Amino acid sequence: MTRPVRNSGAASNPTKVIPGPDPSEEQRAIISNGVNRWERADEVMAKAEQTILVTFLGVMIVLAFLQIVLRNFFFTGLDWGDPLLRNLVLWTGFLGATLATKEGRHINIDVVSRWLPSLGRHVVAIITHLFSFFICCGLTYAALKFIKNEAEMGNRTFLNIPAWIPEMILPTTFILMTLRFGLRSFKTLSEMRKMDPLRDRARET
């Protein structure tokens, strides 16, 4: 929207037009601020995940070594040691998957995008991220349903802990992966909106 500004001192001067704010730019700034806030929160969560992952790996090494010593030299062992190790392996694997999602280090087969222009690569990336996003949504639902069934069955694991408690890593991981694939989709889309296809094509040639 524009608004006229008249010069009262000189009636012969033409009316000056001051352009108002561009609504599309304001919307783009709002989206960018939201993405930046989520990225900062994601960095904090990633550091917490790395700390937990390192701690669990250390506990796994110490506990496995202790079990070997107890069984080979004292002919005994910790009854809860092996179930705990199995759950720690589960947690470290899924925590590693969430970190790989954040850093974009999942295994992929890049056959098409390397031959495409910059815009084409971004389109392929958005399709891939959205596909992964919806797959993780489905896995989140399945994991929550699994946890519900485990809680209803009342199964127990090491130290008589309800089995569904350590299994909560399943929906937690898929929720984080869903959010991160959604973030990557938004980032790629925002980069596409800033692109100039003619300029990028000239730069690549």
CB 119 within 8 A of CB 204: no
Q: Which 8-state DSSP code applies to residue 168? A: G
CA 80 distance to own-chain centroid: 33
d(CA 139, CA 201): 39
Distance CA 51, CA 71 (A): 30
* 25 compared with 134, residue with greater pLDDT: 134
Among 73-77, 106-110, 121-125, the least confident range = 106-110
This prediction has a pTM of 0.75
CA distance 178 to 140: 8
Q: Which among 143, 145, 149 has a CA at the least distance from the CA of 178?
A: 143
Which residue, 62, 60, 108, is CA-closest to 87? 60
Give the model confidence (pLDDT) of 31-83 as tens digits.
667 667 878 888 999 999 999 999 999 999 999 999 999 999 998 889 999 99
Q: What letter does residue 163 receive in the DSSP assignment? A: T
Q: What is the pLDDT of residues 131-175, one digit of tens each?
A: 999 999 999 999 999 999 999 998 999 889 999 999 999 999 999
